[in-house]
Amino acid sequence: MAPIRRATVFGGTGFIGRYIVKRLAQRGATVIVVGRHAWRGNYLQPMGDVGQIALVDGDIRDDAVVSAAVQEADLVVNLVGILAESGRQRFEAVQHEGAGRIARTAAAAGARHVLHVSAIGADPASPAAYGRSKAAGEAAVRAACPGAVILRPSIVFGPEDQFFNRFAAMTRLSPFLPLIGGGRTKFQPVYVGDVADAAMAAIDEPAAAGQTYELGGPTVYTFEELIRLMLREIGRPGFPLVPIPFGLATLQAAILEHLPGQLLTRDQVKLLKRDNVVSADAKTLADLGITPTAPEVIIESYLERFRTGGRHAGQKPA
């Protein structure tokens, strides 16, 4: 397998992006990172030698920008996605049309590898616009580039995640944490390092071309179980949890989705009505030679800042 000399990573300034960019730089590739606010990725540049990682301002809705970015790239990675619509950032434009544009342009430019990161919730029959647009994006990628590798992670956790960190932070601001739908929705959280390793393995393995992999951790949890895991880790196991029926959550989201920060949207409530776990017949991390990492092994390293007194709070001196 020829080495990756040049890689273009759309959305590389985000959570998963930093881990993929780092691994590509370690392999000696020149990495072009494209984002709407590329300056936010300044922290990426020390991961490589001087000039090895370049940051480019660009919007995947712009044909000229995408075309220029993928020229001479051996590998094109699409990590762009949004959890909620805002302004011009619409699900169809970003997760469907944008994904297709990147794949078509990469194929036309002769890229040897195309890697598209989607989500387990991708489904043309999803009740949520998010899930439908993810599925449409996958279809557009596959039509333009049949050899593309598609990765579908469940909730991704790690030091910069917006799941454990977000709810841990909420314990400082709210008298309780909500359990939408009673907290019964199932998830299979996957470590961000495992997702990045899966991306590298998919590039290295010729048999991965044209395949779709669903990425989940070793354990399936309910939403409530994940919240209780987080609360134990920050030393607040008795923090109040309040079940919120889906109907009431939908009414609350109708207001919250219009406020700064969009804490909850009606589309996200719809997503929570379906479990987010690896399908029984799916190709998984194991098919890429990766043993998944459990949250319990990792989250202590970054949730300690939410624990009063830090990591060793409550421990008796030796």
Is the distance from CB of 209 to CB of 274 less than 8 angstroms?
A: no
**Residue 181 lies inside a defined structural domain of this protein:** no
205: domain CATH number is: 3.40.50.720
194-238 confidence digits (pLDDT tens)? 999 999 999 999 999 999 999 999 999 999 999 999 999 999 999
268-277 confidence digits (pLDDT tens)? 999 999 999 9
Instruction: Give CA separation, 54 vs 29, 267, 318, in Å.
Output: 11, 35, 49
Q: What is the C-alpha to C-alpha distance for residues 247 and 243, in angstroms, rounded to an integer? A: 12
The three-point CA angle 37-8-162 to 5° equals: 50
Domain count, the chain: 1
228-241 confidence digits (pLDDT tens)? 999 999 999 999 99
SS3 39: helix
**Model confidence at 81: pLDDT above 60:** yes
Binned at pLDDT 50, 70 and 90, residue 243 comes out as very high
Q: What is the C-alpha to C-alpha distance for residues 145 and 126, in angstroms, rounded to an integer? A: 24
**Residue 167 lies inside a defined structural domain of this protein:** no
Binned at pLDDT 50, 70 and 90, residue 318 comes out as very low
Which ranges of the chain would DSSP assign to H, the alpha helix?
A: 15-26, 63-70, 91, 98-109, 129-144, 164-170, 192-204, 223-233, 246-256, 266-271, 295-298, 300-303
Q: What is the C-alpha to C-alpha distance for residues 244 and 180, in angstroms, rounded to an integer? A: 5
- Burial code (b: 16+ CB inside 10 Å, e: under 16) for 17-44 equals bbbbbbbbbeeebbbbbbbeebeebeeb
**DSSP, res 89:** B
Cα–Cα nearest to 33, from 5, 61, 14: 14
Residue ranges making up the domain that contains 118 = 6-157+188-217+277-292
> Which residue carries 């196991």 as its tokens?
237
**Model confidence at 313: pLDDT above 70:** no
What's phi and psi for 55, nearest 5 deg? -105, 130
Binned at pLDDT 50, 70 and 90, residue 308 comes out as confident
Q: Kind and range of the H or E element at 179?
A: strand 177-180
- Which residues neighbour 50 within 8 Å (Cβ) at sequence distance 6 or greater? none
- Which residues neighbour 260 within 8 Å (Cβ) at sequence distance 6 or greater? none
**Residue 47 lies inside a defined structural domain of this protein:** yes
Cα–Cα nearest to 80, from 47, 46, 44, 118: 118
**Residue 243 lies inside a defined structural domain of this protein:** no
Confidence at residue 267, expressed as pLDDT on a 0 to 100 scale: 97
Selected residue with higher pLDDT from 55 and 309: 55
Confidence at residue 241, expressed as pLDDT on a 0 to 100 scale: 98
Is the distance from CB of 83 to CB of 268 less than 8 angstroms?
A: yes
| Mean pLDDT within 112-132 | 97
51-61 confidence digits (pLDDT tens)? 999 999 999 99
